[in-house]
Amino acid sequence: MSKVTSLQTYDEPIRVNKRIYKISNEYIVKLISSKSLLAKEDIFYEIKIARISHSMGIPVAEPIICDYVKIYGKIQMGFIMEYVAGIEGSNEEYNKSKHPDTDLQLSNQLYEVERTKAFNLGIFIVEPQWILTNDKKIKFIDVAKWQYKGLEYPFKRISENFKDYTEI
Ligand X SMILES: Nc1ncnc2c1ncn2[C@@H]1O[C@H](COP(=O)(O)OP(=O)(O)OP(=O)(O)O)[C@@H](O)[C@H]1O
Instruction: Report the interface residues with ligand X, using CB under 6 A.
Output: 16-20, 28, 30, 61, 81-84, 88, 129, 141-142
Q: Which does 20 bind (CB under 5 to 8 A by kind): ligand X, Mg ion, none?
A: ligand X
**From the CB of 144, what's the least distance to ligand X, in Å?**
6
User: Which one, 166 or 168, has the nearer CB to ligand X?
Assistant: 168
Pick 19 or 115: Cβ nearer ligand X? 19
Give dist(CA 138, CA 109) in Å, integer.
Answer: 10
Rounded distance, CA 56 to CA 106, Å? Answer: 23
Binding site for Mg ion (CB under 5 A): 142
Residue 80 vs 118, nearer CB to ligand X: 80
Q: How far is the CB of 158 from ligand X (least distance, A)?
A: 17
Partner that binds at residue 133, options ligand X, Mg ion, none, CB closer than 5 to 8 Å by kind: none
126: nearest Cα among 53, 68, 77 = 53
Please name the residues in contact with 152: beta carbons below 8 A apart, sequence gap of 6 or more.
none
Judged by beta carbon distances under 5 to 8 A according to partner kind, the member of Mg ion, ligand X, none in contact with residue 75 is none
DSSP string over 30-88: EEPPTTTTSGGG-HHHHHHHHHHHHHTT--BPPEEEEEEEEETTEEEEEEEEE---SEE
| CB 33 to ligand X: min, Å | 6
Cα four-point dihedral sign 52, 54, 58, 61: positive
Judged by beta carbon, residue 29 or residue 123, the one nearer ligand X is 29
